[in-house]
Amino acid sequence: METRTLGKTGLKISRLGMGLAAIGEEETLENIEKIASVLNTALDGGITFFDTAECYFDSEEMVGRTISNRRNEFTLATKCGHAGGGQGQDAWGREAIAASIDRSLKRLRTDRVDIVQLHSCEIDVLEKGECIRALQDAKKAGKTRFIGYSGDNEAAMWAVKSGHFDTLQTSFSLADQRPRHGLLTEARKRNMGVIAKRPIANGAWGAKQSPSLSLKFQKWYADEYFKRCQAMAALGPVTGDPGDGVLMALGFVFAHPEVDVAIVGTRDPGHMRNNIALLNKLPVPKQAVEELRRRWDKLDDGWTQEM
């Protein structure tokens, strides 16, 4: 497994990471043996970056129950700000965030995480600064080694330029290319670690129907990506397309050197092994990446980042 240094954090991580929203949203604790199989398969395959959040249902608890005994083998990131499932102002208060971080540590069965990230708060919340100070408090207390921002569009740019954060997690894929027009460059200029979320566009490239149809929750979640992929594919065959939608998507993201790690979620150990195996088939042809960029730029009519 190829590794990368996560910007100024100095953390050595695998280029392919594990996004843990899917197991929390689509599985239950009753299926803990299946979850343990997926997460241990990831670790055994060389994945060393795991990303979760306090609002991903039982995701943190699942991590704690299954791989906390291997805690020193991986970098662990979580997010805060959606306490209680809401996104109101109270969720971004200093006390609420402190309580959220403590709850996350308890669920994860660890005394510290490597990164705590603000979870998609808007600019007005960031400007007040209380949520940022809460993360800085946690860092001083040793509850997290680094702090980050997870989000998109104008708020992500504000976070990057603020200089307060060590890492940026943002949506980036062949169906979500806006970050290559400034955001990735600004983050790299500041030596921030860059984490690409939704890097395979929920499997929309080459799909016959919207991947949203297979979801238990948020049955609209991949619809916009599916629409964009359909529009891009309608312009004709892409020279160099490897014929595998996930490989094409990963190849596109990893063709951008600003990206340190791409987090992909799955609930299936077989899919996990396949994702790891696909890395051996990278890179995809340069002309395929260039054509996808050209098609995006041609069709973009205000395609903002999807959260």
Residues tagged active-site? 56
DSSP string covering the chain: --EEE-GGG--EEESEEEE-HHHHHH--GGGHHHHHHHHHHHHHTT--EEE--TTSTTHHHHHHHHHGGGGGGSEEEEEES-GGG--SGGGGSHHHHHHHHHHHHHHHT-S-EEEEEEES--HHHHHH-HHHHHHHHHHHTTSEEEEEEE--HHHHHHHHHHS--SEEEEE-BTTB-GGGTTHHHHHHHTT-EEEEESTTGGG-TT-SS-GGGG-SS-TTTTHHHHHHHHHHHTT-PPTT--S-HHHHHHHHHHTSTT--EEEE--S-HHHHHHHHHHGGGPPPPHHHHHHHHHHHHHH-SS-PPP-
